[in-house]
Amino acid sequence: MKRTILKSGFTLLGILMITLSSFATAGKYTIKGRVIDFDTKKPVEFASVVLISLPDSTIKSSALTDSKGDYSFKNIAEGTYVVKAQIVGYTPNLSDKFRSAPSTNVADIAIKTSAVIKEVTVTGKKPYIEKRLIGLC
């Protein structure tokens, strides 16, 4: 009887330790990279960068690039990911698929400028009826 309880206690302890060790490694990874202009090879500042988990395409984290075009995602779980970079005036682009490691450096993501609008005309109309506040002066 005591042996059976002792065995099941060790088995439960073993399962608990394996479970806790898997939780301890979750969220311990850092992913870094840089966004550059495809033509000039210069860094793209303030680009929106999104970390996408594969195969379900879930967004796990997002960031903005700094003045050097650098971004980083911290406390990321182990898995397979792609990074999507986008900003107004550029065509969005994805990184190659990669597997996370304790410190992952993603290859530069080059984004191309999109068609530029040369002129914009904004027109407006004044309403026929105006509402004015009449109050005590």
Residue-wise pLDDT for 69-108, tens only, equals 999 999 999 999 999 999 998 999 999 999 988 888 899 9
Domain membership of residue 17 (yes or no) is no
Domain membership of residue 136 (yes or no) is no
Residue 55, both tokens: 């195969």
Domain membership of residue 56 (yes or no) is yes
Domain membership of residue 81 (yes or no) is yes
Boundaries of domain holding 51: 28-111
CA-CA-CA-CA dihedral for 90, 95, 96, 97, to nearest 10: -130
- Number of structural domains in the chain: 1
Domain membership of residue 86 (yes or no) is yes
Of 125, 77, 83, residue with least CA distance to 105? 83
Asked if 84 and 52 touch (Cβ cutoff 8 Å), the reply is: yes
Asked if 72 and 32 touch (Cβ cutoff 8 Å), the reply is: yes
Asked if 43 and 109 touch (Cβ cutoff 8 Å), the reply is: no
- Average the pLDDT over 38-44 and give the result: 93
Domain membership of residue 21 (yes or no) is no
- Which CATH number do you get for residue 49? 2.60.40.10
pLDDT class of 131 with cuts at 50, 70, 90: confident
**Between residues 22 and 104, the one the model is more confident about:** 104
Domain membership of residue 43 (yes or no) is yes
44: DSSP letter:
P
69: DSSP letter:
S
Domain membership of residue 135 (yes or no) is no
